[in-house]
Amino acid sequence: MNMELHGAAEPIMATDCNLSGSKIQKARLCGTTIESANMSGARFHDVSLAGTTFDDVTLAGASFHNVGFNGSRFDAVSLSGTQLKNVDLSGASLDGCTLTGMRIDGIEVETLLAEYRKTI
């Protein structure tokens, strides 16, 4: 299935869908809402997802390169094995997410969080 979206002026809402393996390039999808979706293995390159809400989404094994997530919200999202390169997570919120195998600057996020929790 090949879907093309040109000149969308309104935010997109994707609910209860299978977008696994999708390839999203050079897109501005600010304010999008994605709920109960499978996007495992998806590839995002040169994409703005500022202010996007991800709720109960599987992004396991997805890769993000040159992606802006500033102000986005991730609730109950599987980020296991995701690759993030040159992304902007400023002001993003991650709650109840699965981060197994996710790394930031080569360090596993679960390890970073475990060390942080020891200090609070």
Residues of the chain above pLDDT 70, percent: 92
State in Å, rounded, how far the first CA of the chain is from the last one: 48
Enter the CATH code of domain 13-119.
Answer: 2.160.20.80
Per cent of the chain over pLDDT 90 is 65
Query: What is 25-45 written as a DSSP string?
Result: EEEE-TT-EEEEEE-TT-EEE
pLDDT of 56 reads 97
Q: What is the pLDDT of residues 82-116, one digit of tens each?
A: 888 999 999 999 999 988 887 777 888 888 888 98
Angle, vertex CA 7, rays to CA 23 and CA 25, nearest 5: 20
Task: Count CB atoms within 10 A of the CB of residue 31.
Answer: 16
Count each helix (H run) and each strand (E run) in the chain, helices first: 1, 11
Statement: the pTM of the whole predicted model exceeds 0.75: yes
